[in-house]
Amino acid sequence: MLLENLSLFLRIVRHGSMAAAAREAGLSPATVSERLAALEAHYGTRLLTRTTRALSLTEEGRALAEGAPNLLAEAEELETRLREGVSHVAGPIRISAPSDLGRNRIAQLLDSFVAAHPAVSIDLHLSDGYIDLAAQGIDIAIRYGDLADSSMMVRVLAPSARIVCAAPAYLDHHGTPEHPDDLITHNCLMMRFRGEVDRAWPFIIYSKPRTLLLSGDRIANDGAMVRDWCVNGHGIARKAEWDIAEDISAGRLIPLLRVFEVPPLRLQAIYPKGRAQVRRIKLLLDALVSGFNP
């Protein structure tokens, strides 16, 4: 019952609502409330602060939300091994990835992984915004850039440059920029990250870093949308190379100003401590590394 209550607690955290967790679990709100109370009694502390408008985690509740996925995964892994043998790989994996990269690259790698391990199920979340791995019960998040959260572990997948690019049709009509300063007169397609528009594009000019503030007529918080706009000739974008590698290879996009690029970021898999001890998680991490380093 403890493991079932932990799973229910994570549902509540994920939805931010006891009623929504009750509906998903097929339980009455009264039963959910009773089981949450039993869990708090078991640990001897309050896990959630409940008001008429919202739920919020206490410090102890956040610690449990971060650690409970490991407990549940290890228990499930142990049960699978006992029932079906140590060589069997089974169970769910929740993975988060940027929208464009997720569609163009990660989904293919996941398809191959499930084909090799058909008892594994994948729950893929595509988002270019911030994801709280613990609150959302995410096992692995694919992200660009250095890790800020020291409570998480990292597997580096590959370097990834950010490439300024445009469609041939756009360049035929508006001309090809030869220097970063030329971008000021072009229509630049912008991404919005965590509410902030990415107008500041960095370059290395004459061996010195320099940032240009650019503008354009289209902004989106979805990388796939920015890529589509760029491919369709609406302007110049700055995209991660893994998002547009196939477009460049096929001639749909032309890379620009590469001699002025800043050093590449790291593409990496981020996961909570202890998750790599779960066999299916470790195998998927290995498959992702291999997929980006064939």
> What CATH number is given to the structural domain containing 226?
3.40.190.290
Residues 101 and 145 in one domain: yes
Residue 252: is its pLDDT beyond 60?
Answer: yes
> Which of 82, 106, 138 is a domain's end point?
82
Residues 174 and 206 in one domain: yes
pLDDT-derived band at 52 (thresholds 50, 70, 90) equals low
**Mean pLDDT value across residues 84-89:** 59
Domain CATH for 38: 1.10.10.10
**Mean pLDDT value across residues 25-34:** 83
Residues 258 and 166 in one domain: yes
176 against 273, higher pLDDT: 176
pLDDT-derived band at 122 (thresholds 50, 70, 90) equals very high
Residues 146 and 287 in one domain: yes
**Mean pLDDT value across residues 158-186:** 96
SS (H, E, C) the chain: CHHHHHHHHHHHHHHCCHHHHHHHHCCCHHHHHHHHHHHHHHHCCCCEEECCCCEEECHHHHHHHHHHHHHHHHHHHHHHHHHHCCCCCCEEEEEEECHHHHHHHHHHHHHHHHHHCCCEEEEEEECCCCCCHHHHCCCEEEEECCCCCCCEEEEEEEEECEEEEECHHHHHHHCCCCCHHHHHHCCECEEEECCEECCEEEEEECCEEEEEECCCCCEECCHHHHHHHHHCCCCEEEEEHHHHHHHHHHCCCEEECHHHCCCCEEEEEEEECCHHHCHHHHHHHHHHHHHHCC
**Mean pLDDT value across residues 150-174:** 92
Residues 43 and 93 in one domain: no
Q: How many domains, the chain?
A: 3
pLDDT of residue 294: 67
> Which of 50, 82, 114 is a domain's end point?
82
pLDDT tens track for 219-247 = 998 888 999 999 999 999 999 999 999 99
Residue 173: is its pLDDT beyond 50?
Answer: yes
Residue 273: is its pLDDT beyond 50?
Answer: yes
For residue 284, what are the domain limits?
A: 89-158+265-294
Residues 116 and 195 in one domain: no
pLDDT of residue 50: 73
Domain CATH for 284: 3.40.190.10
Residues 76 and 146 in one domain: no
How far is residue 20 from each of residues 6, 27, 32, 57, measured CA to CA in Å? 16, 10, 10, 16
Residues 272 and 143 in one domain: yes
Residues 56 and 185 in one domain: no
Compute the residue count for the chain.
294
Residue 67: is its pLDDT beyond 90?
Answer: no
- Neighbour count for residue 107 (Cβ, 10 Å): 15
pTM for the predicted model, two decimal places: 0.67
Mean pLDDT of the chain: 86
DSSP β-ladder status, 162-166 and 237-240: antiparallel
pLDDT of residue 166: 98
Residues 116 and 95 in one domain: yes
pLDDT of residue 85: 44
Residues 133 and 271 in one domain: yes
CA 265, distance to chain mean position in Å, is: 15
**Mean pLDDT value across residues 27-36:** 83
- Neighbour count for residue 238 (Cβ, 10 Å): 22
pLDDT tens track for 11-25 = 888 887 888 888 888
Residues 44 and 185 in one domain: no
